[in-house]
Amino acid sequence: MTAANTLDWLLDDMISRLTGVRCSVVLSTDGLLLGRSAALTRVDAERFCAMASGMHGLARGADLGMAAYEVNRVAGRVGAHLSVPVLNGDGRTVMIQHIDCTDGR
């Protein structure tokens, strides 16, 4: 079993336990796909990684420009879906979860 397959399995297990989460990817800090849930094709997962990397880059840039504040969370909403990139504590990977928010949240 490769590292990518291990991540894929872990992502599938994680989203099966979380209400409303539809899909998830793990990516490197430079935006490369490291793992994806089964709900995503590779092409869609890579597109998702590009979006997460861009969102996270904007947050880091905003953090640098505001010395008194620390950006610790960023989210984007596309239609009825909320995308939330989360920085891993070691700074090497980012996870993004695609959450269905059709209930008005």
Nearest to 38 by CA among 17, 53, 22, 18: 22
Evaluate if residue 37 carries a pLDDT over 60. Answer: yes
pLDDT of residue 78: 72
**Model pLDDT for residues 46-98, shown as the tens digit of each residue:** 988 888 888 877 777 777 766 666 666 677 777 777 777 666 655 556 666 76
Say yes or no to pLDDT of 100 above 70: no
- Against a cut of 0.75, is the pTM above it? no
Is a pLDDT exceeding 90 seen at residue 42? yes
d(CA 105, CA 84): 14
Q: Candidates 3.40.50.880, 3.30.450.30, 3.90.1150.10, 2.60.40.1180; correct CATH number of 3-100? A: 3.30.450.30
- pLDDT above 50 for 105: no
